[in-house]
Structure 1
Amino acid sequence: MNLAQNLDQAIKRIEQARIAYSRHHIVKIVAVSKYSSSDAIQTLYECGQRAFGENRVQDLAQKSELLGDLPLEWHFIGTLQSNKINALLSLKPALMHSLHSLELAKELHKRLESRNQTLPALLQINSAKEESKSGVEPQKAVETYHKILEEFPQIKLQGVMTIGAHVEDRAIIQKSFETTQVIFEQLKPHGAEILSMGMSGDFELAIACGSNLVRLGSTLFKA
Structure 2
Amino acid sequence: MQIQKAIDNLDRLITDVEDARLQLSEHHIVKIIGISKYSQSEDVATLYKAGQRAFGENKVQDLKQKMSDLEELPLEWHFVGRLQKNKINNLIDLKPTLMQSLDSLELANELNKKLEAKNKKMNCLLQINSAKEDSKAGVMPEVAIETYKKIIQSCPNIKLKGVMSIGAHVNDEQLIKQSFEITKTIFDELQEYGAKYCSMGMSNDFKLAIKCGSNMIRVGSSLFK
TM range (shorter): over 0.9
1:131 aligns with 2:131: no
User: TM (normalized to structure 1)?
Assistant: 0.99
1:115 aligns with 2:118: yes
Q: Distance in 2 between matches of 1:17 and 1:106?
A: 37
2:132 match: secondary structure: coil
Match of 2:150 in 1: 147
Alignment match of 1:183 (pick from 174, 183, 186):
186
Match of 1:215 in 2: 218
User: TM (normalized to structure 2)?
Assistant: 0.98
Match of 2:105 in 1: 102
How far did residue 77 of structure 1 move?
0.2
Matching of residues 21-36 of structure 1 within 5 Å: 21-36=24-39
2:28 match: secondary structure: coil
1:118-152 C-alpha deviation (Å, 9 max, x unpaired):
00000000000000000000000000000000110
Q: Distance in 2 between matches of 1:191 and 1:120?
A: 12
Alignment match of 1:92 (pick from 78, 95, 103):
95
Alignment match of 1:8 (pick from 11, 14, 24):
11
Q: Distance in 2 between matches of 1:53 and 1:74?
A: 6
Uncovered stretches (5+) of structure 2, i.e. residues with no partner: none
Q: Distance in 2 between matches of 1:38 and 1:105?
A: 30
1:77 aligns with 2:80: yes
Match of 1:160 in 2: 163
Q: Distance in 2 between matches of 1:199 and 1:190?
A: 26
1:86-112 C-alpha deviation (Å, 9 max, x unpaired):
100000000000000000000000000
Match of 2:55 in 1: 52
1:106 match: secondary structure: helix
How far did residue 3 of structure 1 move?
1.4
Q: Distance in 1 between matches of 2:42 and 2:84?
A: 28
Tell me the matched-pair count: 222
How far did residue 19 of structure 1 move?
0.7
Alignment match of 2:176 (pick from 150, 173, 176):
173
Q: Distance in 2 between matches of 1:204 and 1:146?
A: 30
Which amino acid letter does the alignment assign opposite residue 143 of structure 1? E
Q: Distance in 2 between matches of 1:124 and 1:15?
A: 25
Which amino acid letter does the alignment assign opposite residue 173 of structure 2? R
1:90 match: secondary structure: helix
